[in-house]
Structure formats: structure tokens, C-alpha cells
A and B are shown apart, each in its own frame.
Chain A
């Protein structure tokens, strides 16, 4: 497509346009019309508009299924990234609903507008095969998230978390940009598929290894893989709860998708590196990062007494499992990764939903604040059990099948030598460790009894609804993984990578 057909491009960008317009609408409605109304009212209106906007974008994608490639990979639509976008929008809606009851800010319009802008960034991030565009949309996501983390102006912790997140994020963006510039210098193009071919003909080059390491560092930060994870525990702990939930879910999904795309498409020829010129490939590099993340995340989580920090370390561990999915190579890598990251995101949002209620009603996120939750809020307690056991990988929950599929996919790659058997063994051993600390939380919830004057918790209707819905989804996706899996497989099949 040489002649730029802007009208067609505009209609292809429909979902993004809808979300941007919603962001502006939320902002103006709140600033112009609702300043004198109570906060809860403003929050509900903003969340409602957000839901409508995201819903509209999803409907647009369903009604107008487009496939196309504009400006040489600058903007690409295919069935797979439409699926990912739908997931991101769903996660945005869930985050918005969890935010309704939040009391940390008076700037409701700005808050939801930033949330939506981050969502737009994620959507653009997933629908491009161009390094520059990847970088630009990654920055849009990151900048929105930095502000979202800092949004609780009255809390020092929130400011500290945001500063930490920002400094680490800025650094990693610099790494990523440096890596991209090296890649451009080596291949003369910023288009991923073309780059892959050029790199193959260029052959092995030490600079390529440098570029690769830079890229892995840049994305490793976004997905919170060890050893680039240091921001995660503090940000999870200090950020306002919905922001933390969004970082743990939406941002994870989009970043992992684009990470996989860059490595699996852009570096497809460079998996194992080359012997003669001692160029390292990304497979050994990623194996090490995955192993480090699993070990460090799981072992550090054992010592946590704050449930938010525990979830942060478990997020690092889960990033490790997901990186194993990359090693399956090809279609299976995308399928297993997307299944895992989607179910993981839904589970985490659910866990944060329960955490939000406990924080609001009991006043903290320490383990002891969960004592006797089984009596004080039985439905929430059972949902929390479902979420945590799913994270630990107990069947028949979604997290179990996700892990199972990732391990199976990694092993079926080159089944004669089983090169990734050690990683799978490590992964399974580490899930045993993880069961320990998830059970520590559940022990507080179910085994310890609350003292006599503990009252039942008043759970807001919306939180209740979201949490129960998510728990049901986690169970259903575990028992019937085919629903999501078939969608992903069909989408990948149509791509023909």
C-alpha cells in the first residue's frame, strides 16, 4: 500500500480512536460538568464511560474484522493482535470497575483518562511490527503508568514507588532504544520481518549480541523478569491498588506479546546463536533470565508478610514461567504464552480485587489482616482461594493448564534432545515452593479464626461481582481451556508465520 489511504487507515484504527475519544470525553465530562458532585458519583460516571468506550472498541473489532498492513508494518491488524487487544480492553474495564470505590484521589477524570491512554498505548503496541512504533507506544504506556502509580498524592509510598518505577523505566527505555538503534545500524531497516531476513544475511556479528542483550534488558524490565525486577515489589506496594492491578495485568499482556514478537519474528534466525563467531543467541540468554526469575521470585516471596509484595514477587516468578514459553518457538510459543499471560492477568486482577476490599475494610495488606476472612467474607475468601491456587498451579484451575501447556510446548521443541528439560524441572520444583507461600495466605484466611469482635466485611457490590465473575472465569478456563485455546490457535493459524 504505497498511496496512503488515510480514510482506510482511520477506519482500521477505529478501536484506538474510540478509546482515545472516550479518554477525552471522560476528562471533559468530569472537568466541565461534575466538579460539584460527590466523588462516588463522579467515579461511577467515569468508570461507566470507560466501560462503554472499551466495550465499543471491542464491538467495533467484532463487527469490522479487518486484516491489513499499513505503511510497511507501521500498523498491522491480524486476528491474533485483535484477540490480544480485546483482552487488554477487558482488563482495562475490570480495572476501571475496581477503581470505582477507590478513595485515593479527587481527580477522577484525569485518573480514568490516563488509564484509557495507557490502554491505547497497549493496543498500538500489539498492532505494530515496526521498532520505532513499538518504542513510541511503549513510552505512551509507560508514561501513563508512571503517573497512575503516583496518583495517590497524599501517600509518600506512592510517590516513592512512582519515582522508582520511573527511574528504572527510563533507564530500560534507554537500553531498548540503544538496542533498536544498533539493530537499525546492522540491518538498515526498522521493520521486524525485513530485519529478520537482513540479519540472517548479515550473519553473525558481535554487535548483534549487544543489541540482543539491550533488547532483552529493555523488555525484561517491562515484564518484571529477574534481574530487572527491582522496581516491582515497591511499585506494587506503593501504588494505588487499581494502578498496581493494571501494571500486573494489562501491561504484562501487551509487553509479553510484543516481546515475543520481537524475539520470535525479528530474531528468528538467531535462536541458538552461531558457534563459529561466538555470537550468542537469545535462547540461552532467555533460559538464564527465566531460571533466575523463577528462583528469585519464588524464594523471595516466601519471606513476605505484605500480600502486595508477595504478589509482586510471585509476578516475577510467573514472568519466568512465561519466558519458558518463548523457548517452544513458533506457533506453540505464541499460543502457550498468550494463554498463560491472559489467564494470569485475569487471576491477578481477581486477587487484587479481594486485596482491595480487605485493605479498604481492615486497613492493611499484611498477612494478619486476612485472618479469619473465611468467616468475615466467605464468598471473597473462596474466590481468593481459587485465585491463589490457580497461581500455584493446582488443577482444575486456569493457572494449572497454563503451566502445563507452557511446559509441554517447551519440551516438544526438539523432543529428541529435550534441551529445556532442566528449565521445566526447575519450573516444577519452584511451583512446589510457590504452593508454600500461597498456602501461608490461605492459612490466614481459612485456618486462623478472627477474634471475637471481628465483624463481617461490607463488600461493595461491584467488587463482589467482579471477583466472583473472575473466579468463575478462572475455573471455567481451567476446566475448558479449549475455549480460549481454540481462539488463539485459529488466530495464529490464519497468520501463517
Chain B
């Protein structure tokens, strides 16, 4: 059932492309159908999934026997969690792109090609296949930003494409070297994970592959594509970029770099943790001084993704499960924040300057947007009751066990997060500053928040609340995954 998410998305991309250019309504209908179908497949798959089985193989077909490449898809609790996130983000993305009128068919074609690649990465068990899906996701991102983007879109799109390609190039080197050195003639992740590579090899292969993936996860200092990319992208693309594409990177770190080269992780654990914490604090500090609304959210994403990376390198189970939960949580929350900024506010006010927005009295003009942003902000700063709280708490506990000093600094990062979120909320929505005179003259009533926007926002808020109040829904899926043979090497190194 889960595999259908991939096939349906690619079929949907093709169907969207073939709908007539002059009829955006038809395209939207197809897009909504595809996104819904993907989410339903994901949900049914999640319900049928038995977490205690560990890794469940879905499809296994010989593909290129000469090189030992199989078309094999499999899911464990981590995959299922992220497939669900992708389904939610895709549906929300379609709802928040309801107003795309320019080349609608191509927009949704690229959109679903990206989604299909993302589903594929989360479900691949073969390293080659995973890499194929990972790279499939690069090209649509470029065109989504370059065609439908805003500020400096050429620059941002090319930067994103090249950063992604360089990252995947690093992964490719590590993966080919692992293939050659192991001598297994197989790209099966399980087989490779059970092969113990020489420590000297892991010493250079691990950071290569880990950083290659982490570039896409926004690891400091390779994060610079993220704020420019997020802010240039059209709303749905920023939601996907922050919501799921950054998770591709983090997932790759966990599923490939860490399982293949566990000893390498042990060797580089402290350096990587330091980078992750730097990202947390740096992202938060930079977000504090941004003047562009979207850049605030963009840097906050860098900060929150730092928690994912920190959780991954803690080498203990609570850190890992916190990291995966944070992937889900940040995916939903960042999607919501970008939806408010890009769709609700920017599409109506046509500015993202915080100073300009200050005088517009947005809380009165669009109360729905204000309420949504406040909720999303609370979730983002880690208020109990929302998913961000439980995820970041777990990461911090894990980090405390592994590197107490860094955990304290990461805690400081959370506090700064509270500051910039509150500051931005107050400035944009609840400022008393009167509007400049000339702005008032041109003032015309803003178009009301549309039904698709309300539905999309409702969906995302609901998800973060449900997981925040009942995290076991996901934790029961995630935690047993670490018991599967794929993680044997990792558990051994961690002493679990």
C-alpha cells in the first residue's frame, strides 16, 4: 500500500502536465486528488503497519543484476512517520497553492514530481534506488523556484540546485567507495550495514556521506541555501522545502551514513554535535535580526533542523527518536509558518518587510492569519501541548547524556527561539504603530482568507496538536524501528 504513494505521485505529476493550460481548475482537481490519494495510501499503510516487525519489505524486484541493484522498497516506523508527513505536507501544499494561476499545470507537475521523489527516498531499501529518488527531487525544486518564485529567484534556485547536487555528489562518492570496498556486489542497505567496514575507511567515508546529506538538512555552515531558497520559493515550495526536503537530508544521514559507518559516527560525534548546536544558536540569533518576514522563518528552520542533527549524533535511542519526531514536528510547523507568511500575508500585502507590515494592523485585517501564526509560533517555540515540545525535549535529554555542555547551549537556543518568535508575532500582527499616511490612502480591503487556506491551516494545526498531546501515536512507530537488524551496528557502537 505504501509503495502506491510513489507511483500515484508520479502518475499525478504526468496527469497534471497533460491537463490543458487554459483550465487551472481541472489541474487543481487532479492535484488535490493526487495529494489526497497519497495521504490516504500513507494512512492506510500506517494503520496496517506492524511496528514490532521492524523493517517490512514491500517490493523486491531484481533490477540491474550486473551491479547487484534491486528495486526494493521497505518501511519501518521511521519511514512510515515521514511518509505520513509527506502526505500531509503535499495536501497542505496543494491547498495553499490554490491561487496559482500562472502555468498551473506545469506547477503541479513539478510539485508532484518532487513529492514522488520524496516518498521514494523514504521507502527505498536499496542504496542505488534511494539515490535515484534523492536526485529526482533536485530538478523540480529548481524550476519551482525559478519560474514561480519571488525575490532573487534565479540566484536562489541555482544555489539550491547546486548545493543539493554537490551534496548528492559527496554521497555518491561515499556510496561507490563503500560498494567497491565491501566487495559484496550489492547496494542493499541491510547487506551493506551488516558489512563491517575498516575503521580507517569509515574515518573519511562517514563524514563525506553524512555531510553530503546534511547539506540538504541545513547543517551549519552549509545552510546558506536554506534561507535564500525558502524565501525566494513560492509558498507551496517553501512549505515542501522546509517541510520535507530538509528531512530528506536528515533521513539520509540516519538511514545511510549512520547505519553504514557506525564507527565513523563515534569518531566524529563531537565535531558534528558542535556543528549542530552552532546551527541551533546561530540560526536563532540570525532570525532575531532579520528584516524580512520569510527570512525569519527560514533561519528558524536552520535552528530547528539543528535539533534533528543533534539528536542523530547523540548515539542513544532517546536522542534518535527525538530527532525523528522533530523531523515530523518541524515539517508540520514550518509548513504552517510558511503558509501564513507566504500565502496569507504576502499574497495580500505584497510585502514581507517587517517594518512595513508593522503599520498594517494585520491582527484586525486578518484575524485568522494572526491566530494561526500565534498557534504556529507557540508550537515552534516548544510550548507543551504541541509536537515541538516533546520532540525537542527528547533531543535535549539525549544530548544531555552524551554531551552535557552542548545540551545547555542548545537550551539557550530554545530561549532565543522564544524571543524571536514573540518579537516577530508582536511586530507583524499586534503592533500599535499607526500606518504611514500614504499607505492609508491606498488601503483597500484585503481579500478574505479563503476556504482552502482555512482547511490547510486547520489540517496542520490539528497534526501538531494531536502529536503534541498524544506523542505515542508516532513514538510507538519510531522506537521499535531501532531494534531492526539495519541498526545492529549502530546499537553495538552505542553500547545498547
**Most chain B CB neighbours (cut-off 10 Å) among A415, A424, A435, A436:** A435
Q: Are A486 and B177 in contact (CB under 8 A)?
A: no
Return chain A residues, CB-CB under 8 Å to B63: 482
Return chain A residues, CB-CB under 8 Å to B15: none
- Number of residues in B with C-beta < 8 Å to the partner? 32
Choose one: B136, B147, B173; the contact of A425 (CB below 8 Å).
Answer: B173
In the complex, chain A residues 472-495 whose Cβ is within 8 Å of any chain B Cβ: 481-482, 485-486, 489
Return chain A residues, CB-CB under 8 Å to B128: 404
Q: Looking at chain A, what size class is its interface with the partner chain?
A: 35 or more
A395 at the interface (CB under 8 A from B): yes
**Chain A, Cβ-Cβ closest to B178:** A411
Contact A489 to B169, CB < 8 A, known contacts A415-B180, A435-B161: no
The 0/1 profile, CB within 8 Å of B marked 1, for residues 419-439 of chain A is 001001100110110011001
Choose one: A394, A424, A446, A485; the contact of B143 (CB below 8 Å).
Answer: A446
Q: Name B's interface SS.
A: helix
**Chain A, Cβ-Cβ closest to B138:** A394
Q: Are A405 and B165 in contact (CB under 8 A)?
A: no
Alpha-carbon gap, A365 to B279, bound state (A): 46
**Chain B, Cβ-Cβ closest to A447:** B146
Contact A396 to B66, CB < 8 A, known contacts A408-B176, A436-B158: no
The 0/1 profile, CB within 8 Å of B marked 1, for residues 365-377 of chain A is 0000000001000
Return chain B residues, CB-CB under 8 Å to A408: 67, 176, 179-180
A245 at the interface (CB under 8 A from B): no
Contact A435 to B162, CB < 8 A, known contacts A412-B180, A482-B64: yes
Alpha-carbon gap, A485 to B132, bound state (A): 18
Return chain B residues, CB-CB under 8 Å to A424: 173, 176
Q: Are A489 and B161 in contact (CB under 8 A)?
A: no
A228 at the interface (CB under 8 A from B): no
Alpha-carbon gap, A161 to B66, bound state (A): 42
Contact A411 to B176, CB < 8 A, known contacts A395-B131, A485-B64, A486-B66: yes
Q: Are A481 and B162 in contact (CB under 8 A)?
A: no
Alpha-carbon gap, A446 to B147, bound state (A): 8
Q: Are A447 and B143 in contact (CB under 8 A)?
A: yes
Alpha-carbon gap, A412 to B128, bound state (A): 16
Choose one: A395, A407, A411; the contact of B136 (CB below 8 Å).
Answer: A395
In the complex, chain B residues 127-159 whose Cβ is within 8 Å of any chain A Cβ: 128, 131-132, 135-136, 138-139, 142-143, 146-147, 154, 158
B172 at the interface (CB under 8 A from A): yes
**Chain A, Cβ-Cβ closest to B147:** A447
Alpha-carbon gap, A228 to B162, bound state (A): 30
Choose one: B64, B131, B154, B180; the contact of A418 (CB below 8 Å).
Answer: B180
Return chain B residues, CB-CB under 8 Å to A432: 162, 165-166, 169
Alpha-carbon gap, A7 to B106, bound state (A): 61
In the complex, chain A residues 324-342 whose Cβ is within 8 Å of any chain B Cβ: 335
B181 at the interface (CB under 8 A from A): yes
B445 at the interface (CB under 8 A from A): no
Alpha-carbon gap, A394 to B132, bound state (A): 8
B183 at the interface (CB under 8 A from A): yes
**Chain B, Cβ-Cβ closest to A486:** B66
Alpha-carbon gap, A389 to B180, bound state (A): 26
Contact A411 to B135, CB < 8 A, known contacts A425-B173, A432-B166: no
Alpha-carbon gap, A489 to B177, bound state (A): 23
Q: Are A400 and B147 in contact (CB under 8 A)?
A: no
**How close is B203's CB to chain A, nearest CB, in angstroms?**
14
Return chain A residues, CB-CB under 8 Å to B143: 446-447
Alpha-carbon gap, A400 to B129, bound state (A): 12
B65 at the interface (CB under 8 A from A): yes
Alpha-carbon gap, A421 to B138, bound state (A): 25
Q: Are B132 and A482 in contact (CB under 8 A)?
A: no
Return chain B residues, CB-CB under 8 Å to A464: none
A443 at the interface (CB under 8 A from B): yes
Alpha-carbon gap, A446 to B142, bound state (A): 11
Return chain A residues, CB-CB under 8 Å to B142: 439
**How close is B149's CB to chain A, nearest CB, in angstroms?**
10
Alpha-carbon gap, A418 to B173, bound state (A): 12
**How close is B10's CB to chain A, nearest CB, in angstroms?**
10
**How close is B462's CB to chain A, nearest CB, in angstroms?**
36
Alpha-carbon gap, A58 to B6, bound state (A): 40
Q: Are B162 and A418 in contact (CB under 8 A)?
A: no
**How close is A383's CB to chain B, nearest CB, in angstroms?**
13
Q: Are B161 and A439 in contact (CB under 8 A)?
A: yes
Return chain B residues, CB-CB under 8 Å to A400: 132, 135
Alpha-carbon gap, A375 to B79, bound state (A): 39
**Chain A, Cβ-Cβ closest to B63:** A482
Choose one: A407, A428, A436, A489; the contact of B162 (CB below 8 Å).
Answer: A436
Return chain B residues, CB-CB under 8 Å to A396: 132, 136
**Chain A, Cβ-Cβ closest to B181:** A415
**How close is A493's CB to chain B, nearest CB, in angstroms?**
11
**Chain B, Cβ-Cβ closest to A396:** B132
Alpha-carbon gap, A146 to B183, bound state (A): 47
**Chain B, Cβ-Cβ closest to A416:** B181
Q: Are B65 and A482 in contact (CB under 8 A)?
A: yes
**How close is A368's CB to chain B, nearest CB, in angstroms?**
15
**Chain B, Cβ-Cβ closest to A420:** B180
Alpha-carbon gap, A408 to B131, bound state (A): 14
**How close is A207's CB to chain B, nearest CB, in angstroms?**
36
Alpha-carbon gap, A288 to B15, bound state (A): 48
Choose one: B136, B139, B161, B173; the contact of A428 (CB below 8 Å).
Answer: B173
Return chain A residues, CB-CB under 8 Å to B165: 431-432, 435
Alpha-carbon gap, A428 to B212, bound state (A): 13
Q: Are B176 and A407 in contact (CB under 8 A)?
A: yes
**Chain B, Cβ-Cβ closest to A443:** B146
Alpha-carbon gap, A54 to B308, bound state (A): 60
**How close is B32's CB to chain A, nearest CB, in angstroms?**
24
Alpha-carbon gap, A429 to B172, bound state (A): 10
Q: Are A482 and B66 in contact (CB under 8 A)?
A: yes
Return chain B residues, CB-CB under 8 Å to A389: 139
Return chain B residues, CB-CB under 8 Å to A431: 165, 169
Return chain A residues, CB-CB under 8 Å to B146: 443, 446-447
Alpha-carbon gap, A428 to B177, bound state (A): 13
Choose one: A335, A395, A405, A439; the contact of B135 (CB below 8 Å).
Answer: A395
Q: Are B147 and A421 in contact (CB under 8 A)?
A: no
Chain A contacts to B: CB under 8 angstroms: 335, 374, 389, 394-396, 400-401, 404-405, 407-408, 411-412, 415-416, 418, 421, 424-425, 428-429, 431-432, 435-436, 439, 443, 446-447, 481-482, 485-486, 489
Besides the known contacts A407-B176, A418-B177, A482-B65, 17 further A-B residue pairs in the complex with CB atoms under 8 A apart: A395-B135, A401-B64, A404-B128, A404-B172, A405-B67, A411-B177, A412-B179, A429-B169, A432-B165, A439-B142, A446-B146, A447-B146, A481-B64, A482-B63, A482-B64, A485-B64, A485-B66
A-B contact pairs, 10 of them (CB 8 A): A374-B106, A394-B135, A400-B135, A411-B179, A412-B180, A421-B177, A431-B169, A439-B142, A482-B63, A489-B66
Q: Which 3 A-B pairs have the closest CB atoms?
A: A411-B180, A395-B132, A428-B169
